[in-house]
Amino acid sequence: MAASTAAGKQRIPKVAKVKNKAPAEVQITAEQLLREAKERELELLPPPPQQKITDEEELNDYKLRKRKTFEDNIRKNRTVISNWIKYAQWEESLKEIQRARSIYERALDVDYRNITLWLKYAEMEMKNRQVNHARNIWDRAITTLPRVNQFWYKYTYMEEMLGNVAGARQVFERWMEWQPEEQAWHSYINFELRYKEVDRARTIYERFVLVHPDVKNWIKYARFEEKHAYFAHARKVYERAVEFFGDEHMDERLYVAFAKFEENQKEFERVRVIYKYALDRISKQEAQELFKNYTIFEKKFGDRRGIEDIIVSKRRFQYEEEVKANPHNYDAWFDYLRLVESDAEAETVREVYERAIANVPPIQEKRHWKRYIYLWVNYALYEELEAKDPERTRQVYQASLELIPHKKGTSIGKCPKNKLFKGYIELELQLREFDRCRKLYEKFLEFGPENCTSWIKFAELETILGDIERARAIYELAISQLRLDMPEVLWKSYIDFEIEQEETERTRNLYRRLLQRTQHVKVWISFAQFELSSGKEGSLAKCRQIYEEANKTMRNCEEKEERLMLLESWRSFEDEFGTTSDKERVDKLMPEKVKKRRKVQADDGSDAGWEEYYDYIFPEDAANQPNLKLLAMAKLWKKQQQEKEAAEQDPDKDIDESES
């Protein structure tokens, strides 16, 4: 029995033999099996149970259970920020914004470095139109994590979408103080260009190329100027870039871009100069693209000689020809010397330097000597740094000092300029040479009597020195000039001077003299405010009298906005110091703002249609009285029409009222 049992355990089950092992003609994939199962709905999943809430008590119970679940999840693991976000979003779905804020604030206490948390928090406030809350969150975010660019982008985008251009610009400025990556600067520039602020964009580019001094950024700056047709500015940017990188950090991309810009401007000689300048200073290994573009340019616009000039061996002959044609062409000498210094022996270099410095400027003028002096400087630097010969360096410096005419020039006498005068006066002030300052100011004003700033500075100097009468005389002489560049600044300075001296009567006379020259509304308002601030007896009456006089004078003024400005200033005065009757009197003088139409003509004189504009009708103007009456009648007629239309639209209401 045991043997039979053991034999049964060892029995191997029979395996069905597959007669045909060839692959089936129709193959069925796993994807097909899943698709057929879905179509036949073999796996029917029951829908989740729906809970119907019928009263407020059940709703509160549901909220309590959900909140307990969320709080338990948070308690188990506070660092899982997704639990906090789900909790806050659930509260937001119930319009419990204050609770959602509380959850987000608790989450920020746990992990204030979590970017997603800040984003979700701010998006919730924006979604619920809580703009000030959103601003507060963005401000906290950029203050806490200023290097997260996403916060800055979303903050500026929100302000721009709200139409708060000034606010967006302020956020961008705060961002730029952190010197962010290049894309942030481009976003700021594009923002300003969207509002046609080309000058602001230029200012941003100026800061951008200094923070990120890369060649490609300078090229973008120049192309920005070229795109907006500021070709002179674009050329200046390229020149500044060349100067900025100097000979130590030269990059062929800059010179290729510069040359192509000049090529677009049809300045072919400039293009050649740029290519030659770059090829002389950049090694051949680093200038392959430069050489290629220069060759293409010469094939398009140059001749065979231009192509041959690229080769260094041909340039010496060219420079020889240039200096022979004009020995005083110091730029040609500089280029020639640079060439021979790069591949010639010391004796050859000295020979060329001696030939160059032998061409002394023919006349004693600074503009001619300015370039010539650098020949001596370069000669001395070559002997010191390249030839390593201190004795010859000393001889070169000594010879240059004996040759240059140091005592032949007097800058103020021969070349008077504002900058030169200012620098000289500043120097004498530091040395406390006040008599010399007076002399310089006299010469300065003889040279430019229309310069109001010089008159003011001169008078201020005398005031500081305590000579009040002399300062007053300078002001009197200044305002008597026939032509001044900023007369309003000069008069204001004179008036402020008299106010500081507590000369009330003189100040009053100055205002009267100024009003004889101009009837500008700001002068009248300033005069009235002066009388008010004098603090003397009757100042209110005098101030009111000036407003009345100004209003009477400006009745014939064509600029009605200025007259309105005067009346508004008067009304502000009466609101603070006047009686009820005084206020009513000014209110009666306020104009009526009306919308009018007028024809518009194109530049060629043709009719371009009509445009609407606002005009002001003052009650005091006798000629406008019919217009005011007509306007009042029109308003009355419009009101009657509206009442009539309302009665026609609701006749049943009229019947009910009549029956009652």
Binned at pLDDT 50, 70 and 90, residue 579 comes out as: confident
For residue 599, what is the enclosing H or E element? Answer: strand 592-601
Least reliable range by pLDDT among 33-47, 235-249, 338-352: 33-47
3-class DSSP state of 440: helix
> Contact, 454 vs 445, CB < 8 A?
yes
> Quick one: DSSP state of residue 386?
I
- Whole-angstrom Cα distance, residue 316 to residue 318? 5
Q: Is the pLDDT of residue 190 over 90?
A: yes
pLDDT band at 16 (very low <50, low <70, confident <90, very high): low
User: pLDDT tens, 406-421?
Assistant: 555 545 554 456 776 7
pLDDT at 598 over 60: yes
Percent of the chain with pLDDT over 90: 13
Phi and psi dihedrals of 112, rounded to 5? -80, -10
Sign of the Cα torsion 309, 313, 317, 323 reads positive
Check residue 303 and report its DSSP letter: -
The least confident of 9-18, 162-171, 258-267 is 9-18
Picking from 66-70, 108-112, 518-522, which range would have the lowest pLDDT averaged per residue? 518-522
Average pLDDT of the chain is 80
Residue 400 pLDDT: 81
144 CB-near residues (< 8 Å, 6+ apart): 112
pLDDT of 175 reads 92
What pLDDT digit, counting tens, does each position of 22-44 carry? 777 778 888 887 888 777 765 56
Is pLDDT at 642 greater than 70 in this prediction? yes
Task: Quote the pLDDT of residue 632.
Answer: 62
Half-sphere CA count of 555, side-chain side, radius 13 A: 12
| Higher per-residue confidence, 464 vs 606 | 464
**pLDDT, position 475:** 84
Q: How far apart are CA 501 and CA 298, in angstroms?
A: 73
pLDDT recorded at residue 307: 58
Q: Decide which of 333 and 647 is more confident.
A: 333
Task: Give pLDDT, residue 186.
Answer: 92
Retrieve residue 256's tokens. Answer: 């290729």
* Dist. CA 582–CA 575, nearest whole Å: 9
For the cut 50, the answer to whether the pLDDT of residue 3 exceeds it is no
At residue 1, the pLDDT reads 41
Helix 81-93 to helix 115-127 angle (10° resolution) is: 10
Concatenated DSSP letters of 4-51? HHHHHHTPPPP-PPPS--SPPSS---HHHHHHHHHHHT-S-PPPPPP-
Q: Record the pTM.
A: 0.41
Report pLDDT for 308: 52
Percentage of the residues of the chain whose pLDDT score is greater than 70: 83
Query: And the tokens for 372?
Result: 């010539």
The number of beta carbons lying within 10 Å of the beta carbon of residue 626 is 9
Burial of 182 (0-12, 13-18, 19+ CB in 10 A): middle
Dihedral sign, Cα of residue 272, residue 274, residue 280, residue 283: negative
Count the alpha carbons within 13 Å of 393 in the hemisphere toward its beta carbon. 13
- DSSP for residue 195: T
Q: Which residues have CB under 8 Å from 481's CB, separation 6+?
A: 449, 450
> Alpha carbon of 462 to those of 393, 431, 446, 472, 493: distances in Å?
51, 16, 18, 9, 14
Residue 253 corresponds to which tokens in the numbers above? 């991309």
Q: Is the pLDDT of residue 319 over 90?
A: no
pLDDT at 310: 55
Axis crossing angle, helix 487-500 with helix 504-517, rounded to the nearest 10: 160
Give 326 or 617, the one with higher predicted confidence: 326
Q: What is the dihedral of CA 500, 503, 509, 510, to 10 degrees?
A: -20
Helix H or strand E segment including 361: none
| φ and ψ of 69, to 5 deg | -65, -45
Contacts of 41 (CB under 8 A, 6+ apart): none
- List, for residues 347-406, the tens digit of each pLDDT value: 888 888 898 888 888 777 666 677 788 888 888 888 888 888 888 888 888 888 778 765
Mean pLDDT within 605-614:
70
What CA–CA distance (Å, rounded) separates 134 from 121? 8
Calpha distance 210→218 (Å, rounded): 9
By DSSP bridging, strand 592-601 and strand 607-617 are antiparallel
Cα–Cα distance measured from residue 472 to residue 460, given in angstroms and rounded to the nearest whole number: 10
478-496 pLDDT per residue, tens: 888 888 888 888 888 888 8
For 610, the 3-state DSSP assignment is strand
Identity of residue 609: G
What SS3 class is residue 179?
A: coil
Give the ranges where 195-287 is alpha helix by DSSP (H).
Answer: 198-211, 215-227, 231-245, 252-264, 268-281
Q: Residue 431, Cβ neighbours under 10 Å: how many?
A: 10
3-state secondary structure of 617: strand
pLDDT greater than 90 at residue 329: no
514 close to 484: Cβ distance less than 8 angstroms: no
Band of pLDDT at residue 181, cut at 50, 70 and 90: very high
Q: Are 496 and 462 in contact (CB under 8 A)?
A: no
Half-sphere exposure of 420 (CA within 13 A, CB side): 12
Residue 485 to residue 449: CA distance in whole angstroms: 9
Convert the pLDDT of each residue in 512-568 to its tens digit: 888 888 888 888 888 888 878 877 777 888 888 888 887 787 777 767 777 778 778
pLDDT at 313: 41
In the block, tokens 């050329």 appear at 235
Say how far apart CA 230 and CA 265 lie, in whole Å: 12
SS3 state at 616: strand
Question: How far is Cα 321 from Cα 35, in angstroms, rounded to an integer?
Answer: 88
pLDDT at 118 over 60: yes
Return the higher-pLDDT residue of 2 and 78.
78
Q: What was the pLDDT predicted at 659?
A: 44
Q: What is the pLDDT of residues 201-237, one digit of tens each?
A: 999 999 999 999 898 999 999 999 989 888 899 999 9
User: Helices 390-403 and 366-381 meet at what angle, rounded to 10?
Assistant: 170
**Closest residue by Cα to residue 181 from 205, 212, 160:** 212
pLDDT at 159 over 80: yes
